[in-house]
A and B are shown apart, each in its own frame.
Chain A
Amino acid sequence: MIDFILIIPELFLLTATIILLLYGLQSERKNVLSLLSLLSLSSLFFTGLLLWNNPIISCSFFFNACILDHLTFFLKSLIIGSSFGALLISLNFLRISATYSFETIILILFSVSSMMILVSSYDLLPFYLAIEFQSLCFYVLAASKRHSEFSTEAGLKYFLLGAFSSGILLFGFSLIYGFTGITNFEDLAKITMSEALPFSMNLGMVFIGVGFLFKITAVPFHMWAPDVYEGSPTSITAFFAIVPKIAIIGVFLRFFGFCLFFYEWGTILMLSSLGSMMLGSIAAMSQFKLKRLLAYSSISHIGFMLIGFCCGSIEGVQALLIYMIVYMLMTTGLFSIALSLKDSVNFRTSFIESINQFSMLAMTNPILALSLTILLFSMAGIPPLAGFCSKFYLFFAALSSSLNVLACVGVLTSVISCFYYIRLIKIMYFESPFLDYHCFPFRLSFQNSFILAFVTTFIVFFFVYPSPLFLLAHKTAIALCF
């Protein structure tokens, strides 16, 4: 019974979600949506409170199938925080875009709770189950805009490739289980430490690696990401782009870092990281749709995060965690803008799609243009913004693990990726507008402007006093390694 105390936050969130679902079904009122979103936000908030007030810092429970430590605490806080942000910025969008049903919010909450379980899983079984739970929610979410062909196509693609990658992952798990008879991380760690691994074990690992790279859209397995990003409703894209990556990278960090040792993975992840950085930054140059651009940019950022994976040192993990936080904040900021700018032609319904529509933004809404500029410079890694701090620490970790090639390619691709980030700035500031083809100036909703202001302030002033975040990440990284 004591074990259930340890998962009170998850239990609370699940219960709250189910109650909200029932309430949504029962209620016949028109404004059920706004009430539900408010309630869901507050339930996320209370989950966060419960998480933060959990007296037990680290232990494993449910017969060693789940674990609580600094890493899970960190990741769960991040997941709750980011999904709170993602939900907050998409409230206005959900209200305006007509094709809405309240189940979207319910599914988002379900996926959040599944991700919380995912990061605390300590056994292959809950690991796989939680990943599937999470993916299933996302398949539905991607296809939630039923009347749009794009959205259905995105949902279908995402489902097929996601199911395929889950299959590969599962096959890897079964190989591992078949050859060791063990599913628990701790026991697996003991086995892999002790003796030379048989070939089939390596095969299983490769399958798991492929599944992992699929899920985080790293390069050889990235093809679904741009289509899914573009096709899904923007609020869902925001959610995709921000939250699940944290959970998946977090749990695989434990899996690769702790359970199956790093060296076996080095080459695969390194190649994938190189590919992601290069493809992400080069392919994004020829993109003119905003969401596709963001998709490719996220691929290149994933490449950077994989550098942290490849290091296999405390610094590497620490750099990865810092990068994750900063990236999450930057993406939230970007999407909070993307979710509120509307097309000038039919501004009631249509949100901007092409990056050309940013023209005139500096004239019509200078403050917004300025914050977007700061965000983009930070994404490009120009000092003294937060994006730079996270990147330089990553390169430092790479060099200290003598991954010189990765570091060099990393800095070079970050220069290349500057090209398309500053192209957006160029469009905003310098380009004369296409007539009736620019975004409509209007007031941001309160939530979006709040999030944007918070993120921009963080990005600008992070440089002044970065120590707390570095210390936090360091503590978390150490918790993983010992």
Chain B
Amino acid sequence: MKYLLLFVIFFPLLAAFFLAFFPEHKKEHQKWIKNFAFQSSLLNFLASLFLWIQFDSSTPKFQYGCFVDWLSSVSAQGEPVYGSSLTLGVDGISLFFIILTTFLTPVCLFTGWSSIQNYVKEYCIAFLVLETLMIAVFCTLDLLLFYVFFESVLIPMFIIIGVWGSRERKIRAAYQFFLYTLFGSVLMLLAILLIFFQTGTTDLQILLSTEFSEKRQFLLFLAFFASFAVKVPMVPVHIWLPEAHVEAPTAGSVILAGILLKLGTYGLLRFSIPMFPEASLYFAPLIYSMSLIAIVYTSLTTLRQIDLKKIIAYSSVAHMNFVTIGLFSLNAQGIEGSLLLMLSHGLVSPALFLCVGVLYDRHKTRILKYYGGCVHTMPVFSAIFLFFTMANISLPGTSSFVGEFLILVGVFQNNPFVAIIAATGMVLGAAYALWLYNRVVFGHFKAPYISYYSDLNRREFWMFVPFILGVTWMGIAPNVFLDPMHCSVANLIG
């Protein structure tokens, strides 16, 4: 079974490697390349589903474990002094993130089917490499290697934003993305080295049973937090996100919103909370207040934005801060709710970006004031957009509702005041999302600006179907997703 996980991780890399040797001179070649990349990522998605099927939800242990000796050296006396190894494993927390990653990568390749015209081969390679790195982040159980994969996502993402982004401002966006993330995470590197220096290992399973002194826990927690807060993004360091989202190509936004934002919250859950429990308890109020500010502030900011993608990006910030509130409620409901909200946001937000991508492909603008009355020209699109808008404001019956509800339940036990303020975020979310929908879809059709129009084509329609299925499934039968998490989460907080 351990080879299944290795297969899921490295198959995209292998595919990218083969792809690198494909010729790319003619139009047919491009078609081959797209087909090959798409099919191999689809195959990887199917393989990752087997991870879920074979998953044993009655144990908190890491499954599909795999251990590859990576770096070791011996001292003069012959005993090992330095060791870091590629320890892989999947538990209930990381299982769905892996599946989400493998699910979104084919979508990314699919959405660029016709809109990506230049550097097609490089596009496919970049996404396949990115997929490998992201899956590796979710299943590595070694701090140092977690850092390595966490950071190395920057390289393909930098190139994706910079090369296939749409406007001149993309360079600035790519820079901001790169430097913000790097600046945050180097502090984590120091923290990891400090941990290694104290304990002599970077293996997570050993570190979970290690006690750090309180003072050092605070220091380490803050260093980790600096990195994760940028990735989440928490409020003072969220500026990179709207920029990067707006300038990225549609597929880039899908990955950014779907996976990269989850890296921060995943890191908080996987490393910060179990390794530094006292510090987590101590800093919970800080994180509550930062998240509350973020929820209210970004929801209000959204009202003033006129760029479609920026609006959705800011709503992502709000949702991700909901997730952090849930995480630091430090009880099972809250954490499971935030896991579910992460998954749900990983479906809803990419779908919304795909919607914007559909509009952009047709009209080449994302400025809100040129749109209006889409329902007259694009009825199918309007229906789908409505569905995801509703999912975004967590209508009961959609996946987000379950997540946000559990988070509010969890945090209410802990701190009712936080729950009340966070609940206003839902109202504000409804305000901006509905108003956005109103402005884009209803009203008069703005004929002076839009001379050519067409509804969704078949490819685009089928692109949305899995998202709709996922969101409804998760909303109606959340237990399917919650069951594998129970043991791991209980183990984590217990």
A and B held together in a complex: yes
**Is A395 part of the binding interface, using a Cβ–Cβ cutoff of 8 Å?**
yes
Given the known A-B contacts A396-B197, A399-B194, are A467 and B159 also in contact in the complex, defined by CB atoms under 8 Å? no
Closest chain A residue to B186 by CB distance?
Answer: A411
Contact B158 A422 (CB under 8 A): yes
* A contact residues, total (Cβ < 8 Å): 36
**Is A156 part of the binding interface, using a Cβ–Cβ cutoff of 8 Å?**
no
- Quote the shortest CB–CB distance from B80 to chain A (angstroms): 11
Q: Mark A392-411, 1 if CB is under 8 A from B, else 0.
A: 10011001100000011001
Contact B197 A400 (CB under 8 A): yes
**Is A474 part of the binding interface, using a Cβ–Cβ cutoff of 8 Å?**
yes
Name the residue among A392, A400, A412, A465 with the largest chain B CB count within 10 angstroms: A392
Which residues of chain B are near A373, meaning CB under 8 Å? 159
CA distance A419 to B175 in the complex (A): 8
The stretch among B71-79, B261-269, B334-342, B433-441 that forms the contact with chain A is B71-79
Name the residue among A373, A400, A422, A482 with the largest chain B CB count within 10 angstroms: A422
B 158-177 contacts with A by CB, 8 A? 158-159, 162-163, 170-171, 174-175
The stretch among B149-157, B283-291, B404-412 that forms the contact with chain A is B149-157
Name the residue among B144, B154, B186, B187 with the largest chain A CB count within 10 angstroms: B186
Contact A396 B162 (CB under 8 A): no
Contact A383 B196 (CB under 8 A): no
Of B155, B162, B190, the contact of A377 (CB 8 Å cutoff):
B155
Which residues of chain B are near A470, meaning CB under 8 Å? 71, 73, 82
Of A384, A419, A466, the contact of B149 (CB 8 Å cutoff):
A384
**Is A382 part of the binding interface, using a Cβ–Cβ cutoff of 8 Å?**
yes
Which residues of chain B are near A411, meaning CB under 8 Å? 186-187, 189-190
Of A426, A430, A463, the contact of B148 (CB 8 Å cutoff):
A463
Q: Mark A308-341, 1 if CB is under 8 A from B, else 0.
A: 0000001000000000000000000000000000
**Is A229 part of the binding interface, using a Cβ–Cβ cutoff of 8 Å?**
no
Name the residue among A383, A388, A412, A470 with the largest chain B CB count within 10 angstroms: A383
Closest chain B residue to A391 by CB distance?
Answer: B189
CA distance A467 to B147 in the complex (A): 19
CA distance A396 to B171 in the complex (A): 33
CA distance A388 to B189 in the complex (A): 11
- Quote the shortest CB–CB distance from A228 to chain B (angstroms): 31
Contact B154 A382 (CB under 8 A): yes
**Is A129 part of the binding interface, using a Cβ–Cβ cutoff of 8 Å?**
no
Which residues of chain B are near A395, meaning CB under 8 Å? 189-190, 193
Chain B contact residues: over half helix, strand or loop, or mixed? Answer: helix
**Is A197 part of the binding interface, using a Cβ–Cβ cutoff of 8 Å?**
no
Give the number of residue pairs across the A-B interface with Cβ within 8 Å: 87
CA distance A400 to B193 in the complex (A): 9
Of A384, A408, A465, A471, the contact of B73 (CB 8 Å cutoff):
A471
CA distance A366 to B179 in the complex (A): 25
CA distance A270 to B179 in the complex (A): 26
- Quote the shortest CB–CB distance from A29 to chain B (angstroms): 43
A 453-478 contacts with B by CB, 8 A? 463, 465-467, 470-471, 474, 478
Of A388, A399, A425, A467, the contact of B193 (CB 8 Å cutoff):
A399
A 416-459 contacts with B by CB, 8 A? 418-419, 422, 425-426, 429-431
CA distance A408 to B183 in the complex (A): 11
Contact B179 A396 (CB under 8 A): no
- Quote the shortest CB–CB distance from A375 to chain B (angstroms): 12
- Quote the shortest CB–CB distance from B157 to chain A (angstroms): 11
CA distance A466 to B86 in the complex (A): 12
B 97-124 contacts with A by CB, 8 A? 122
Closest chain B residue to A464 by CB distance?
Answer: B70
Given the known A-B contacts A415-B186, A429-B162, are A474 and B178 also in contact in the complex, defined by CB atoms under 8 Å? no
Which residues of chain B are near A382, meaning CB under 8 Å? 151-152, 154-155, 182
**Is A114 part of the binding interface, using a Cβ–Cβ cutoff of 8 Å?**
no
CA distance A429 to B194 in the complex (A): 37
Contact A392 B162 (CB under 8 A): no
CA distance A470 to B196 in the complex (A): 17
Name the residue among B69, B155, B196 with the largest chain A CB count within 10 angstroms: B155
- Quote the shortest CB–CB distance from B17 to chain A (angstroms): 11
Of B76, B147, B175, B190, the contact of A482 (CB 8 Å cutoff):
B76
Which residues of chain B are near A474, meaning CB under 8 Å? 73-74
The 9 closest A-B pairs by CB, nearest first: A411-B186, A383-B148, A383-B151, A396-B193, A384-B152, A383-B152, A430-B162, A399-B193, A470-B73
20 cross-chain CB contacts under 8 A:
A366-B122, A382-B155, A383-B152, A384-B152, A411-B186, A411-B187, A418-B179, A422-B158, A426-B162, A426-B174, A430-B163, A431-B171, A466-B70, A466-B71, A467-B70, A467-B72, A467-B73, A470-B82, A471-B74, A478-B76
A residues near B (Cβ < 8 Å) are 314, 366, 373, 377, 382-384, 388, 392, 395-396, 399-400, 407-408, 411-412, 414-415, 418-419, 422, 425-426, 429-431, 463, 465-467, 470-471, 474, 478, 482
Sample of 12 further A-B pairs with CB below 8 A, known A474-B73, A474-B74? A382-B155, A383-B148, A395-B193, A396-B193, A411-B186, A411-B189, A426-B174, A463-B148, A466-B70, A467-B71, A470-B73, A471-B73
